[in-house]
Amino acid sequence: MSEESNQNNNPASQSPHSDEKPDTIYPSVPDGSLPYREYSSLSDDQASPENSYPPPPSAYYNYPPPNEQPNPGYGYPPPPNGQPNPGYGYPPPPNGQPYPGYGYPSPPNGQPYPPRANNRQPLPLGEAIKQLPKQYLRVLTRPSAATFAEEKQKAAWNIIWVQIAFIAIIGALISFAAYTYVLPTFVSLFNLPKIGTTSFADMYKGMALQGSLTALFSTPISLFINWTIYYFIAKLFKGQGEFIEYVYSALLFYVPIQIISGLLLLIPFVGFFLSAAVGIYMYVLMILMTMAVHRLSGGRATLAVLILPIIALVLVIISVVLLIAIFSALASSVAR
């Protein structure tokens, strides 16, 4: 009886592999663990010899389930009318259209969304030239970062070159007028002596053509050098704008202000101070433009625009102090 009971309680005796000799067929593993055993395939209604679990229902393996019954997996009811489940509890989009994603409405006419870095909408050249006076007036009379943010979307190189050529011609004309009228009038007030047989007034008039040609060709070069420096300074303050947008937006206030300043300079004495006031206003507009194009805060945009004038002012003050110290030292040595 004891032998029969032990045989019944021994799992190996009930195993389909009870007639095998594990130690000979499956040699022991060197680390002392149980040898690996491969069991033959079992039928659907036969349990595995160890860790016996009942076989799962066939509904979990077969799709569609038998008898056209819905799969009971995870306890969710089947979708209505045999429609596919949109997932995560969201209703299906209307009219069978795909979800546009992240809550944004689908683009019109099925067109893809424009990329972030190229969202400009430039106008045809003729229309852009017609709108320039209105843009100049809007920028000067309604200055704000929002104004420049709206105008920068019209940036294009063709209208940029047209404005640069225009301001170069205007600069040449103003330079010619300054050499032929303003400077001779200013010099005649002080009654300066002649250089040989030539007066200062005649000398300036003779330089009018040369000065105008110099202004014609130097204006585009100096503009691009200045704008490139200011653009990369704003980049150092983590600016995100594009160079074409920066140049286009800067021209919207630079062109009218340069024309106004040049006309004010033709007024003797008073014109210089009025032109200086207009120049200060130009820096205000430049700060607002930098905020809009580079998407910077007011403090960072102000530093990006004024850091060069501040450095220049500090250098001028240091130079003046050094010159005063040198002249004082020379005067004291001469007095001794």
Q: 97-124 as b/e, with b when 16 or more CB fall inside 10 Å? A: eeeeeeeeeeeeeeeeeeeeeeeeebee
Q: Please tell me which residue, 205 or 138, carries the higher pLDDT value.
A: 138
Structure tokens at 122: 């430039």
Position 275 pLDDT exceeds 70: yes
pLDDT one-digit tens code per residue, 142-188: 999 999 999 999 999 999 999 999 999 988 888 888 778 777 776 66
pLDDT band at 80 (very low <50, low <70, confident <90, very high): low
As a whole number of angstroms, the distance between CA 37 and CA 18 comes to 12
Q: Tell whether the torsion through CA atoms of 251, 257, 260 and 262 is positive or negative.
A: negative
Return the percentage of the chain with pLDDT > 70, whole number: 59
| pLDDT of 269 | 74
| pLDDT of 262 | 81
Task: Kindly report whether the peptide bond that precedes residue 256 is cis, defined as omega within 30 degrees of 0.
Answer: no
| pLDDT of 183 | 72
| pLDDT of 75 | 52
